[in-house]
């Protein structure tokens, strides 16, 4: 059987991680698994998948241990169960199973797309297939938003203090209005509040802070033709130029290749 890393019909980004696995461990991976990042709106009441996410490649092992290696931090390995694990592996600290996995995440933690949740989902898929563990991924929404975009704003702010989330129950089916109401029910950091105020003033349908520790991101619902103007207004309103990701809502998709 041809090594997954050498199969030209597979997307390059899916071949990269099994190639790194083979280079590190000297053997081919049994499989490669992909899970998208998730945009948690309204405190997680609505989950929207993004095209950026996490990819893991690996094989099973017989000692019951779970070894995790990062493409970006190859020297910071985690072997679970363990009392000490590197920060990048913290989202999967509760996982268990006999496997060795090479991991790659497109986005840093705290950027607004729950990178840790994507990694946890991809690892869960791998363990399910390799060790027979049952796993259920997040339920995500298929939003009907013709001509609209969800603009994720990574303020680049990272703080170790937890951001407490206040209870919120949507009382409207208008997503834009619900986002703004959610934001006003929370206690946002100044940078998040500045993003929301600038977005609304420049014509956005709604905006809110996002809870994605250790970051302080925000999200904006905006008509597609207004995206450039809203970006300019936000950038002008904050001290540190943010990073932007534009999402066209689509169905949740995971992928497994063996």
Which CATH number does the domain housing residue 91 bear? 3.30.230.10
Euclidean distance between CA atoms 222 and 198, whole angstroms: 12
Contact 145, 223 (CB under 8 A): no
Q: Are residues 18 and 119 in the same domain?
A: yes
Q: What is the 3-state secondary structure (H, E, C) of the chain?
A: CCCHHHCCCCCHHHHHHHHHHHHHHCCCCCEEEEEEEEEEEHHHCEEEEEEEEEEEEEEECCCCCEEEEECCCCCCCEEECCCCCCHHHHHHCCCCCCEEEEEEECCCCCCCCCHHHHHHHHHHHHHHHHHCCCCCCCCCCCCCCCCEEEEEEECCCECCCCCCCCCCCCCCCCHHHHHHHHHHHCCCCHHHHHHHHHHHHCCCCEEEECCCCCECCEEEEEEHHHHHHHHHHHHHHCCCCCEEEEECCCCCCCEEEC
Q: Are residues 159 and 110 in the same domain?
A: no
187-210 tens-digit pLDDT: 999 999 999 999 999 999 999 999
Are 11 and 132 in a shared domain?
A: yes
pLDDT at 255 over 70: no
- With 90 as the cut, is the pLDDT of residue 157 above it? yes
Q: 17 with 108, same domain? A: yes
pTM across the whole model: 0.84
**Same domain as 201, residue 107:** no
Range of the domain at 21: 4-139+251-257
Q: Tell me: pLDDT of 89 over 60.
A: yes
Mean pLDDT, residues 233-242 = 97
CATH of the domain at 176: 3.30.70.890
């Amino acid at each position: 059987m041809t090594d997954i890393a050498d199969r030209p019909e597979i997307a390059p980004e899916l071949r990269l991680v099994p190639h790194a696995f083979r280079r590190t461990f000297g053997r081919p991976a049994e499989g490669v698994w992909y899970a998208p990042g998730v945009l948690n709106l309204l405190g997680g009441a609505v989950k929207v998948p993004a095209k950026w996410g996490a990819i893991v490649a690996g094989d099973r092992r017989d000692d019951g241990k779970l070894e995790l290696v990062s493409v970006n931090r190859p020297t910071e390995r985690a072997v679970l169960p363990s009392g000490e694990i590197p920060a990048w592996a913290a989202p999967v600290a509760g996982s268990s199973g006999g496997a060795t996995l090479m991991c790659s995440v497109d986005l840093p933690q705290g950027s607004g797309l729950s990178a840790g949740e994507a990694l946890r989902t991809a690892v869960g898929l791998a363990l399910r297939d390799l060790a027979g563990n049952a796993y259920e991924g997040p339920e995500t929404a298929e939003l009907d938003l013709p001509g609209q975009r969800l603009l994720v704003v990574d303020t680049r702010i990272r703080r170790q203090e937890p951001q407490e989330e206040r209870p919120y129950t949507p009382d409207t089916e208008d997503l834009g209005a619900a986002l703004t109401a959610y934001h006003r029910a929370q206690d946002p950091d100044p940078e998040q509040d500045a993003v929301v105020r600038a977005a609304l003033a420049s014509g956005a349908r709604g905006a809110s802070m996002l809870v994605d520790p250790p970051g302080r991101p925000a999200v904006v619902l905006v008509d597609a033709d207004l995206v450039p103007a809203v970006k300019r207004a936000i950038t002008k309103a904050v001290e540190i130029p943010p990073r932007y990701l534009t999402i066209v809502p689509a169905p949740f998709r995971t992928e497994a290749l063996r």
